[in-house]
Amino acid sequence: MKLKLYTLGSLLLIVATGVYTYVYFGEDLITHKIYTTELTLPLYLWVIAPMAILFILSFFHLLVYGIRNKMNFSRWEKDSLNLIDVLNAALIGKSKHATIKHESLSEVASVLAKSQIKVVETISDLEKSKLKENLEKNKTIYKGGYVPLGKSDYAKNSPILIRNQQNRLKQDPDFAKQVIKNSGNYDNSIIDDAIVAYMQQIEPKELQNVENLLTADAINALIERANRAEFALSEENLTLLVKKADEKQLIPLASVAKKHLLPDAVLATFKHCYEEDPAKNKMVYVYLLLEYEMIEKAAQELAEEEENGEYQKLQAYIDLKAAGKKYPLDLFI
């Protein structure tokens, strides 16, 4: 109840009661003894006196508890705003500590401060605010769209920012070059994705200039492009890729090289690499010898290897060939 309305109503009731009593009973005097003191007053004053005392006491009661409730509401309102700030920080990948006095809200804030929030549906009943703006941005990003954030408050290298940059890499091929050029400004995962994206558009003549970018994923991307005839392999580029590739990538690289180069060129390239690094390239070199039906030469290369070693399957293939059996070489790799 509003204090002003209560005061007005109470005073009107007291006055009306006093007037009514005065009209009907006039100025009849009544004497009451209070302790040792006798007090003589008109009847209407004796009637309204308890009402006035009750009004005064209730007025101060309502005033005190009204102030208390208002202060409590103000704390709730302040805690709610702080909680929204913590929620908004979680949306942009930041962890924010806020002083929240109410224990229940404080627990929620502590969880939000360590959380990542993914919005999948539109929240239509929010007023226009920073929170709604960030919710809409995050929804677009998680659906695969790119949102230009510019100088936003999003935390650097936060999951949502990385996701947005990944989306941009898919939509904007030139962004890969920007990431590689300014790699210090981006997370390692984005740099790796940018390198792969760049390899999806690089021309064969440019490969020698980006040797430092030839990671395992980058080489896999080039192998896939070469397999689809989207990237032409030269002897020079093949040599570079063999040197940079992991051992497990050499067989797929050799297989795709056969589609682009003559057998002599493929064999010469891998032989050169084998002579430079026998431990790494022996398997693929022997594989090519067998692929090109140079069985005796392959057998000579395996002559000194243990029967139960890593070349056991290739030795078995040679034995089967010697026995006149025909099996696909890929079954023995």
Which of 102, 109, 99 is closest to 73 using CA atoms? 102
Higher pLDDT, 108 or 218: 218
Read off the pTM: 0.67
Q: Is the pLDDT of residue 74 over 80?
A: no
pLDDT for position 276 = 93
Q: What is the mean pLDDT of residues 290-306?
A: 85
Region 248-273: what's the mean pLDDT?
94
Q: Is the pLDDT of residue 181 over 60?
A: yes
- Judged against a pLDDT cut of 70, whether residue 167 lies above it is answered with yes
- Tokens found for residue 218: 């980058």
pLDDT computed for residue 72 by the predictor: 72
Average pLDDT value over all residues in the chain: 83
DSSP 248: G
pLDDT above 70 as % of the chain: 86
What sign does the CA torsion over 10, 14, 15, 19 have? positive
**What average pLDDT does this structure show over 69-93?**
72
CA 293, distance to chain mean position in Å, is 53
Cβ of 94: how many Cβ atoms within 10 Å? Answer: 15
pLDDT class of 313 with cuts at 50, 70, 90: confident
Query: What is the rounded CA–CA span in Å between residue 310 and residue 109?
Result: 57
- Report residue 111's pLDDT band, with 50, 70 and 90 as the boundaries: low
Contacts with 187 (C-beta within 8 Å, 6 or more apart), sequence order: 157, 162, 165
Whether the Cβ atoms of residue 42 and residue 27 lie closer than 8 Å to each other: yes
Q: How confident is the model at residue 103 (pLDDT cuts 50, 70, 90)?
A: low
pLDDT band at residue 78 under the 50/70/90 scheme: confident
Q: Which of 75-84, 96-105, 297-306 is predicted least confidently?
A: 96-105
Q: pLDDT at position 275, please? A: 92
pLDDT at site 34: 74
For the cut 60, the answer to whether the pLDDT of residue 75 exceeds it is yes
Residue 308 has pLDDT above 60, yes or no: no
Question: Taking each helix axis from N to C terminus, what angle separates 216-227 and 250-257, rounded to the nearest 10 degrees?
Answer: 30
H helices of the chain, in order, are 3-25, 43-91, 103-113, 130-142, 159-171, 174-181, 188-199, 216-227, 235-244, 250-257, 263-276, 278-291, 295-302, 312-322
Q: Is the pLDDT of residue 196 over 90?
A: yes
Q: Are 165 and 188 in contact (CB under 8 A)?
A: no
Structure confidence at residue 232 as a pLDDT band (50, 70, 90): very high
- pLDDT score recorded for residue 100: 65
Provide, rounded to the nearest whole percent, the portion of the chain with pLDDT above 90: 33
Q: At what angle do helices 3-25 and 43-91 cross, to 10 degrees?
A: 170
**Residue 96, pLDDT score:** 64
Please check the confidence at residue 87 and state whether its pLDDT lies above 60. Answer: yes
Q: Which residue has the tokens 């940059």?
A: 165
**Cα separation, 166 vs 199, whole angstroms:** 15
The whole-number pLDDT of residue 289 equals 92
Cα→Cα distances 252→1, 24, 163, 216, Å: 82, 115, 31, 13
Calculate mean pLDDT across residues 136-142: 83
Instruction: Determine the pLDDT at residue 321.
Output: 81
